[in-house]
Structure 1
Amino acid sequence: MTESDMSNPAAGEQPPARWSQPPEGSAAPGNWSQPPAAGPRRPVGSTQAEHWVGDPAAAGDQQQPQPPVSSNLEPDAEATAEQAAAAAAMSRVFMPEVRTCPKCGGDIDWDGYCMQCGAKAPSARDHLEEHPASWVGGVCDRGMRHPRNEDAMALQAGLEPGGKAVLAVCDGVSMSTDSDRASLAAAHAVLGYIGSRTDWDWNLLDLTPAGSARQMLDQTARIANEAVLANSNLDEASPASCTLALALVNGPQILSATLGDSRVYWIPDAGEAGLLSTDDSMAQEQIAAGVERSIAESGMHSHVITRWLGRDAPDVRPTLASMVVDGPGWLLVCSDGLWNYASDPVALAQVVQQVADEQPESGPLTLAQKLVDWANQQGGEDNITAALARIEAPAEPDPEIMDDQAADLDTPTTRLHPNAG
């Protein structure tokens, strides 16, 4: 949606408006009403994810039978838990708004312009930060060249380092319609679903077809795909689509689940860094055929992806990989806006070390911002997302402690840092 598409609420009869936030004091989050006529009028642009009202009974995969999942729940109870989690994932995503002009401090009017100096407010979608815990943080940035930010991320983590964490990054396909809001909806649907599956055992190492991790991540990807579809105009020739890179942490266990070319890296403090994920791209197919990575990733079709989330997705079962880390380090989930400039794990680890040395003892949020700054300095030709988890303790988690923390995933803190421009 462009500015010209946003009607002036003060000028005659208007179509039903959509609002970025419910009215204050609303006790019915699923039944929005418009703010009072005298209140601030803030129509939502194309980055607003639609309300996803799905059918929990249809949340499971109806196209292929699923192997049984080992669980202490009775079959009916297990199905109920999965449906309840699917329903929890079906939530509207509200983006923060720029309410104060970053240039003069004046109020932003309904049309997106400052009432005091007349400057246009930056988009709230251009730069986002999440910092759910001291050991997990991320930055999602528009970059220097793209007109809008089609990357998205959603992070959750227990407060205590070494517990559980979820880091989801989605990169909207630039040539598809409304990929900015679809990627946002997909990332948050992932968070909502996993955070609500309190029946899951969080075993990240059993990736067999009948294993709980495989079943859980397959269903998570289907939920994310439904979120993309629900936030797409399916009549468009190229409806919204996006990648998915998901990293899970459970003590020293880490898992990568990906569709497309967003990536998961493990960067230890000592030892060689590694790429945990495998791209679904033309470049990766060339690499598998023996072409050198540097050559394959610099070709004309290097960023053509072969799997994704969206209407025409050929397969939404993510590629999984997991490992047990044996020492401290950084788990990095990123879009191609970052790894474009340092694809090889060793090269990217050197960048991480370089920017970390500029401010020793910096936390994940600061380091993520420095990585985004570095990518912008290289040209910033794409949207950039860097999400980090600091892994310290190499010991196996205590089962009793982990049972007590089964639901200890704190909701993300989203912060807006608009550029003055």
Structure 2
Amino acid sequence: MTTVRTCPACSDRVAAGDVFCEGCGRPLPEGVRSAPVEHTDNVRTAPQQSMSGATRGGSGTPGGNGGRTGDGSRPGLVPSDGGPTAPQVSLNGATAGPAAGTGGGRSDSFTTQSMRRDSVTPRPAAAPPGTAPDWPPPSVGSSPVQPTNPDMCVWCPGRVSDGYCEKCGFLQPTGRDHVEVRTRAAVGVSDRGLRHRRNEDAMAIRVIAADDARAPGTVCAVVCDGVSSSPRSDEASRVTAETGATVLAEQIRRGADPREATGVAMTRAAEAVAGIAESLDSAPACTFVSAVVDPAAGTVTVGWVGDSRAYWLSGGPESSASTLLTRDDSWSEAMVQMGALSRDEAMRSANAHALIAWMGADSGEIDAHISTVTPTGPGTVLLCSDGLWNYYPEAESLTDAVPGAGTRPHEAARTYVSLALRAGGKDNITAVLIPVPGAQGGLRAEQD
């Protein structure tokens, strides 16, 4: 008979190994953390249909995006060449050592090499005594967010006591626990959540200068989610995200096509994470999702491996309808695509969230997925880890949860993370938002 353990502060049920209580966020005593206890994550995370086939002129796409605009339906997202979920770039051979072709139901695979990490921007100085700081607290560059007043909560205007907010009850973040990145064209927020010892997610954003001769204003962004069962998964995600975004920007500046640039970036990122492995039996691993938003061409190019996702969030009734841009590399999605199980059956399995593709020296050989679409704007591209989409898997639910996300991306990114925390915070949470202006929707000559 399994003993049920509860949090001594709020009596909420806790699982073996939990460091923080899901209900109140308080640290758990060692006796509770180490006690054997059964726990099942009951969050429904049924894989989504992608927008494959959502071409202009069509009426019944899987994502509900009809292509007609004259009959009251929204315009569709238009893949520029082929369905968005077809593998486009092979990462075969991008290994630091011999590839492992076996291991836990892996049907595809990746590899990588080492990289230099950028230094962290210094934290902002404390506010002068007597100054009432604005809320939300500001962030500087890619540094962890810190309130100008250390007694002020990062999540609400409440006051902090013993590391917790007296108003919302959230544990206050330190170091990499909570990171915010703000640029003129994109915003990202990443948080450890309520149940993990560390933040194993990572994000990186690069924006090409507005006066660049080849790609003015193009935004390149990457989100990675470390595989918790692998060693140094936090390092894996950070190395992969920084490498991917840096190479993406370099390729775009040199005039490479976004699809070509994405393929090169994913290969180099795979090499980077494979390069930090001590052996194939001790290989850090992570997922990968990227986006290149080209304001001149009006296109969005996404690349992915694993189950981190990219979404298009509609900005209004005349914009392309909200939809998922990726398809998970997961066991449950594979079973559904093969017709072996229904979605409900697949999600009831203990293997529902098992990855069949990832980046790491032990991933073997896999094909990267790359898709280019042309949305009718305005709207927002959202890159996120499963810490967010576990609670909001549907594109429409994400849009409804934070209306007008593209008009206030920093507040929206914070809100998405806060919503996931309030829903349970079972995993690390990362959300990167790239607003897409309405004028972009007019640049669709290739579709005419």
CA distance in 2, matches of 1:304, 1:125: 26
Change (3 A) 1:159 1:328: farther
| 1:249 corresponds to | 293
Q: 2 CA distance for matches of 1:118 and 1:335?
A: 26
Offset of residue 335 of structure 1: 0.3
Q: Deviations over 1:245-295 (max 9, x none)?
A: 011111220011000000001111235311111111102112213445455
Question: Could you tell me how far apart the structure 2 residues matched to 1:241 and 1:147 are?
Answer: 17
Closer, same or farther: CA 298–99 of 1 in aligned 2, 3 Å? farther
Match of 1:286 among 320, 335, 338: 335
Q: What whole-Å deviation, never above 9, does each CA across 1:53-72 have from its counterpart, x for those lacking one?
A: xxxxxxx98949xxxxxxxx
Distance in structure 1 (CA, Å) of the matches to 2:324 and 2:278: 35
CA distance in structure 1 between the aligned counterparts of 2:92 and 2:433, rounded to whole angstroms? 35
Alpha carbons of structure 1 residues 228 and 370: separation in structure 2 relative to 1, 3 Å:
same
Identical pairs, percent: 31
1:178 corresponding residue in structure 2 = 232
Secondary structure in 1 aligned to 2:175? coil
* Equivalence for 1:147: 197
- Give the match for residue 324 of structure 2: 275
Matched residue type, 1:189: T
> Following TM superposition, by how much is the alpha carbon of 1:126 offset from its aligned partner in structure 2, in angstroms?
0.6
Question: Partner of 2:116 in structure 1?
Answer: 91
Show the counterpart of 1:382: 427
Residue aligning to 1:367: 412
Deviation at 1:239, TM superposition (A): 1.9
Q: What one-letter code is carried by the residue in structure 2 that aligns with 1:132?
A: T
Alignment of 1:107-256 (within 5 A): 123-133=174-184, 135-158=185-208, 163-197=217-251, 200-204=254-258, 213=259, 215-234=260-279, 237-251=281-295, 252-256=298-302
**Amino acid paired to 2:177:** D
**Change in 2 beyond 3 A, CA 1:62/1:122:** closer
Mean Cα deviation higher: 120-129 or 261-270? 120-129
Matches within 5 A, 1:310-349: 310-349=360-399
Q: CA deviation at 1:176?
A: 0.7
Structure 1 residue 350, shift from structure 2 partner: 2.1
Post-superposition offset of 1:303: 1.3
Equivalent position to 1:309, from 350, 359, 372: 359
SS in 1 for 2:267: helix
**How far off is 1:316 after superposition?**
4.5
Would you say the 8 A contact 2:92–2:366 is kept in 1? no
Q: CA deviation at 1:163?
A: 3.2
**Superimposed CA distance per residue, residues 295-331 of structure 1 (whole angstroms, 9 cap, x where no aligned partner):** 5345321211111110111235311111101121111
Shift of the 333–199 alpha-carbon distance from structure 1 to 2, 3 Å rule, reads closer
User: SS of the counterpart of 1:191?
Assistant: helix
Distance 1:365 1:344, change over 3 A: same
Mapped contact 2:193–2:429 kept (Cα < 8 A): yes
State the TM-score, normalizing by the size of structure 1: 0.61
1:118 offset after TM fit, Å? 12
Change beyond 3 A, Cα 1:221–1:158: closer
Q: 1:315 to 1:351 in 2, by over 3 A?
A: farther
Task: Please list the CA deviations of residues 26-77 of structure 1 after superposition, one character each: whole Å capped at 9, or x if unmatched.
Answer: xxxxxxxxxxxxxxxxxxxxxxxxxxxxxxxxxx98949xxxxxxxxxxxxx
1:61–1:384: structure 2 CA closer, same or farther, 3 Å change rule?
closer
Whether the 8 Å contact between 2:206 and 2:246 is mirrored in structure 1 is: no
Residue 79 of structure 1: aligned partner:
none
Residues 294, 376 of structure 1: CA spacing in aligned structure 2 closer, same or farther, 3 A cutoff?
Answer: farther
If the length of structure 2 is used for normalisation, what is the TM-score? 0.58
Rounded Cα–Cα distance in structure 2 between residues aligned with 1:221 and 1:383? 22
Q: Which moved more, 1:272-281 or 1:373-382?
A: 272-281
CA contact (8 A) 1:221 1:317 kept: no
Q: Aligned pair in 2 of structure 1 residues 287, 200: CA closer, same or farther (>3 Å)?
A: farther
How far is 1:97 from its partner?
7.1
5+ residue gaps, structure 2: 1-89, 95-111, 127-145, 152-161, 165-170
Mark the CA change 1:201 to 1:287 in structure 2 (over 3 Å): closer, same or farther.
farther
Counterpart-to-counterpart distance in 2, 1:176 and 1:335: 17
Secondary structure (helix, strand or coil) at the match of 1:170 reads: strand
Change (3 A) 1:363 1:297: farther
Q: Residue 262 of structure 1 corresponds to which residue in structure 2?
A: 308
Change (3 A) 1:159 1:397: farther
| SS of residue in 2 equivalent to 1:146 | coil
- Is the CA contact 2:310–2:325 (under 8 Å) kept in the aligned structure 1? yes
